[in-house]
Amino acid sequence: MGNSRTTVWCLGNPLRGDDGVGVRCGERLLETPCHHLEIVLCETVPENYSAPLRRNPPDYLVIIDACAMGTAPGTIRLLDPDCLDGFTETTHGLPLGQIIREALPRERIIVIGIEPKETGFSLDLTPEVEAAAREVVRAIREGSWSRFTPNPS
């Protein structure tokens, strides 16, 4: 995984506090580029990036987003890619999972969720979520995202 060509989609709204954690991770990853990582700041419109994904599929697609899982703020979990089927807030009206599976098989899609604490209007992350963002960035650079605990289904 460490040197596989990996595309990282960074989701969230950076104007809504911890909801922007995925984008914050992407900004940090862009500060020190890695040749095997393509960082995409999708923010709230990931479907806009599906065409390039289909044209040139990576070895892995990693998606980072805030996710209310009912755990402590800052908790990091690997999520089942099927969770993307419930994400229907796309301008095309299609579930994000369906859009992505047209480009990649399920086993090459990694979804990392980070439990938010505050999602009101703010440009800042809470300390717990900021610490989680640093940990996720380190794991992405190392290709060691499999060390995160899977979210129980």
Q: What are phi and psi of 15, to 5 degrees?
A: -90, 0
Q: How many CA atoms lie within 13 A of 36 on its CB side?
A: 14
How many domains does the chain fold into? 1
Q: Does residue 42 fall inside a structural domain?
A: yes
Place of tokens 């989701």: 11
Q: What residue numbers bound the domain in which 128 lies?
A: 6-148
Q: Does residue 1 fall inside a structural domain?
A: no
Q: Does residue 16 fall inside a structural domain?
A: yes
DSSP-derived 3-state class of residue 135: helix
* pTM of the predicted protein model: 0.90
Q: Does residue 153 fall inside a structural domain?
A: no
What span, in angstroms and rounded, lies between the C-alpha atoms of 110 and 97?
A: 12
Residue type (1 letter), 99: I
pLDDT of residue 1: 58
> Looking at residue 44, which CATH number applies to its domain?
3.40.50.1450
Q: What is the pLDDT along the chain (153 residues), one digit of tens a residue?
A: 556 899 999 999 999 999 999 999 999 999 998 999 999 999 988 888 988 988 999 999 999 999 999 999 999 999 888 777 665 444 445 667 777 877 888 889 999 999 999 999 999 999 999 999 999 999 999 989 999 999 876
Contact between 74 and 128 (Cβ < 8 Å): yes
